[in-house]
Structure 1
Amino acid sequence: MGTDAIKIRIAADNDFLDPAEVAALNPATLRERTQTIAPLLRERAAKAERERRPDTEAWAAIRRSGFFYVFVPQAFGGMGADPDVFIDAALPLAKADPGMAWSACFIAGHNHAVAHFPEPAQQEIWGKRGYIAAAAVAFPPGQATKVDGGYRITGTWGWASGIMDADHVMAVVMLGEPVPDEQPALGLAIISTTDVTARDNWHMAGLASSGSHDVVIEDAFIPDHHMLTDLTLFSGHNEFSRRHSEPVFGFPFISFGAFIAVVPLLGAAMGLLDLHREALPGRTVKGTQSPLGESAAAHVRLGRADVVLDTAEQLIRAAARRAVAAASLPPSEQLQVRARIKMEFAYAAQLCRDAARLMADGAGSSIYRTDHPFQRIFRDIQVMGSHAGFDLDVAAELHGRMLLGMSSNMMLF
């Protein structure tokens, strides 16, 4: 297991779409473009898994599609799109390769957070390069020390999805020294990846192509406007995001993080369903002449998996719309809605894993050949589903407490 540094690819300034190309983006063209490039991701999936990072050409195709502009505000030339547009564009990518889509969804989604930063940060980031390509890391938090004009940031974080093609890192940090028995004051910092080292330690049984290596930051300076010290954004709007008219920027921050993670999980399970359905007619049960596609048991599993995934999709879409609407609620009511949304995304994630298991149980041993795409996608689904935000029991407990009028037992949700 290596801990040497691994090179981060930072896009050149001319790798971004020009304003006319971005202006031509709309929900239909974006979905058409991601559908068009999906075969390339599928073709490069095994290679990306071996290399433990997104494939260079596949990632360039995602960039050219305009996918990363989906959550850039219209005031800065982006789409400022609603959650359904993101879902529609992301699913073709995730069906093709879950790992690369996972990182792509995080990169696209982290632009949502920038809308909550002070105006100078928004101008600096979106005014120069069109969108931010940021990996986001959280716990355990790093350390921020206040200095003249800004902060100095130090820390080591894991699970930096998107880091292999990132120009920035968003990191949760402690503001000042921790006090025993007290919750630490937290901030969210934006740090250029020129001040970041990525460790070559992403050795995973699934989701390898996401390249979610650890990151290390040592005494890096950031200006004041690259730090959010008031994390009211966790509950939706703050004074900066309210300046954007698009409703999506009221989507509560923590809920939004679960949203951009559950969508590629759904796409991965849908891709597995497509693969399984296409393979069934040509397979026979070993030791017999019976086509597996004529097996009643196979029909039952396929039918159940299809409806389970449709249920998961409808739940995700409904929860996302509810999250956007929650921004206008009083704080006490919004807490209850956020708890429900957390459980809905966790439940949808469990449905995706359940559907994958249904298909695997009836697909035979050949799917576990190392060159078979089924086993790769199946492993990706297991790792995606293990995300801390998808712990269904934890989410259900929180939702149950809220239903009984009890206080939250979680620091952030």
Structure 2
Amino acid sequence: MRSEPSSDQTVTGEELVARARALIPQLRERAPRAERERRVPAETVADMQDAGLFRVLQPKRWGGYQLDPQVFFEVQMALAEGCMSTAWIYGVIAVHNWQLALFDERAQNEVWEKDSSTLISSSYMPKGKIERVDGGFKLSGRWGFSSGVDHCDWAFLGVLVPPVEPGGAPEYRTFLVPRGDFRTDDVWHTVGLKGTGSQDVVVEGAFVPDYRTHKSSDGFAGTSPGLALNDAPLYQLPFGQIFVRAVSTATIGALQGALTSFVEAGKGRVSVNDGSRTAEDPTAQQLAAETSLAIDEMRTMLLRNFASMMASLRAGEPLKLLDRIHYRVQSASVVDRCAQLVSRLFYSSGAHGIYLGSPLSRYFVDIHCARTHVANNVDKYSRNYGGVLLGRDNTDFFL
């Protein structure tokens, strides 16, 4: 772990993506170990640190590159070609360097002043219980699915803060808690995304000062306290837009990894039943083409959406609510589409694909596990979008 900010802030997005792509062979080799140990190997995290990948969205004032989100997601897709668990924890951990920039300056100082490479995990489910005390809150609770927590020294934890006045609405906030104030329970025994090490986080009566909390309403409205210091257009993006893509985009890269495995095996595969060659099978040919085209379409859509948002923010124009709803549905639809396509690749791979050592089987279960994330429930967000198009009020505020 670096103890000083990176001095090379002239690195380009293309260079960072190339560094991520250079890791793909190692990630493929380490993927079985990540599954066995139920966590991404420490050396993989060190490799990503050394490559500067966690700094893509980090503010320049903290040694980050402060690059457009398109670079961040290109890096994530590249990593997922080698190991989707690695790409998953990269997405949810590296995006926290973006969210911390929205916090009060005092919170940023506590995390990064001594070591700007410090990493933060999260669990945004609103499971915490609080008591208001002088200067902040007393926090307790158990949160699940904290991906990559073993590699992190801080955690973002979701809490519904009760209203001060009776009859008011509760307020969703993210609480920032240091490692010394929480413990983890080893509960991560799953069918897929095994290497994410998404353990439970437990807090028992920790004091959290008010400045170490971030209001969801500020993230939605663009009024976060950190914007007084980090006022670049990057940090004016709505949190709901950038986070939901952090838990869906890895599936695009993983689908590319699955297609690569399917193609590599199919080029030389001959059926033991009738001697037919996969490379000459019209169904396999069509499926390979359709999957490749779909990957290109989903990647293009992702980059276009963020390019459009960044252009508006740079021009000082507010983002249109209907666009935000539209982009939200597209984010969730990616995972559904990838799950359908990787299923077809898996079925078409024949009996060889069912072995545990098959890379294709790993991509298959990992993508399907990503589909279970609440942010990837495309039906819910499609209904909201359709309702808005038909004149009803928007019901989704994580946009």
Tell me which amino acid in the other structure corresponds to 1:356: V
2:325 to 333, 339, 345: 339
Q: Is the 8 A contact 1:343 1:396 kept in 2?
A: yes
2:119 to 133, 140, 157: 133
* 16 and 361 in structure 1: CA distance in 2 versus 1, 3 angstrom threshold: same
RMSD (Å), alpha carbons:
2.2
Equivalent-residue separation in structure 2 for 1:285 and 1:216 (angstroms): 52
Which blocks of at least 5 consecutive residues in structure 1 are unaligned? 1-14
Tell me which amino acid in the other structure corresponds to 1:305: T
Tell me which amino acid in the other structure corresponds to 2:53: F
Match of 1:373 in 2: 359
Match of 1:10 in 2: none
Query: Map of 1:285-324 to 2, 5 A cutoff?
Result: 285-324=271-310
Q: Is the 8 A contact 1:236 1:253 kept in 2?
A: no
1:399 aligns with 2:385: yes
Match of 2:142 in 1: 156
2:218 to 232, 242, 247: 232
* Deviation of the 1:181 alpha carbon: 8.2
* Deviation of the 1:104 alpha carbon: 1.3
Which blocks of at least 5 consecutive residues in structure 2 are unaligned? none
1:200 aligns with 2:207: no
* Deviation of the 1:21 alpha carbon: 4.6
Query: Map of 1:146-295 to 2, 5 A cutoff?
Result: 146-176=132-162, 183-229=169-215, 231-241=217-227, 243-295=229-281
Q: Is the 8 A contact 1:234 1:253 kept in 2?
A: yes
Equivalent-residue separation in structure 2 for 1:409 and 1:136 (angstroms): 25
* Deviation of the 1:37 alpha carbon: 2.0
DSSP-derived class of the 1:141 partner: coil
* Deviation of the 1:386 alpha carbon: 2.0
Match of 2:375 in 1: 389
Match of 2:20 in 1: 34
Runs of 4+ in 1 over 3 A off after TM superposition: 17-22, 176-183, 322-330, 410-413
Equivalent-residue separation in structure 1 for 2:104 and 2:85 (angstroms): 32
Tell me which amino acid in the other structure corresponds to 1:112: W
Tell me which amino acid in the other structure corresponds to 1:39: P
Q: Percent identity?
A: 27
Match of 2:43 in 1: 57
TM-score (norm 2): 0.93
DSSP-derived class of the 1:152 partner: strand
Equivalent-residue separation in structure 2 for 1:77 and 1:103 (angstroms): 21
* 227 and 20 in structure 1: CA distance in 2 versus 1, 3 angstrom threshold: closer
Equivalent-residue separation in structure 2 for 1:230 and 1:207 (angstroms): 28
Tell me which amino acid in the other structure corresponds to 1:93: L
Equivalent-residue separation in structure 1 for 2:144 and 2:317 (angstroms): 34
DSSP-derived class of the 1:81 partner: coil
* 144 and 22 in structure 1: CA distance in 2 versus 1, 3 angstrom threshold: farther
TM-score (norm 1): 0.90
Equivalent-residue separation in structure 1 for 2:99 and 2:350 (angstroms): 44
Equivalent-residue separation in structure 2 for 1:338 and 1:248 (angstroms): 16
Equivalent-residue separation in structure 2 for 1:393 and 1:336 (angstroms): 17
* Deviation of the 1:217 alpha carbon: 0.7
* Deviation of the 1:403 alpha carbon: 1.7
DSSP-derived class of the 1:136 partner: strand
Q: Which moved more, 1:204-213 or 1:84-93?
A: 84-93
* 132 and 179 in structure 1: CA distance in 2 versus 1, 3 angstrom threshold: farther
DSSP-derived class of the 1:206 partner: coil
Q: Is the 8 A contact 1:309 1:355 kept in 2?
A: no
Q: Is the 8 A contact 2:163 2:169 kept in 1?
A: no
* 19 and 412 in structure 1: CA distance in 2 versus 1, 3 angstrom threshold: closer
Equivalent-residue separation in structure 1 for 2:8 and 2:109 (angstroms): 17
Equivalent-residue separation in structure 2 for 1:183 and 1:337 (angstroms): 27
Query: Map of 1:47-86 to 2, 5 A cutoff?
Result: 47-86=33-72
Equivalent-residue separation in structure 1 for 2:204 and 2:242 (angstroms): 29
Equivalent-residue separation in structure 2 for 1:287 and 1:41 (angstroms): 34
Q: Is the 8 A contact 1:111 1:131 kept in 2?
A: no
Q: Is the 8 A contact 1:323 1:338 kept in 2?
A: no
1:362 aligns with 2:366: no
DSSP-derived class of the 1:305 partner: helix
DSSP-derived class of the 1:129 partner: coil
* 264 and 17 in structure 1: CA distance in 2 versus 1, 3 angstrom threshold: farther
Equivalent-residue separation in structure 2 for 1:139 and 1:398 (angstroms): 21
Equivalent-residue separation in structure 2 for 1:73 and 1:109 (angstroms): 12
Deviations 1:364-402 (A, max 9, x none): 111111111110111001001221111111111111122
Equivalent-residue separation in structure 1 for 2:312 and 2:138 (angstroms): 35
* Deviation of the 1:182 alpha carbon: 6.2
Deviations 1:97-122 (A, max 9, x none): 00121011111111111111111222
Equivalent-residue separation in structure 2 for 1:224 and 1:180 (angstroms): 21
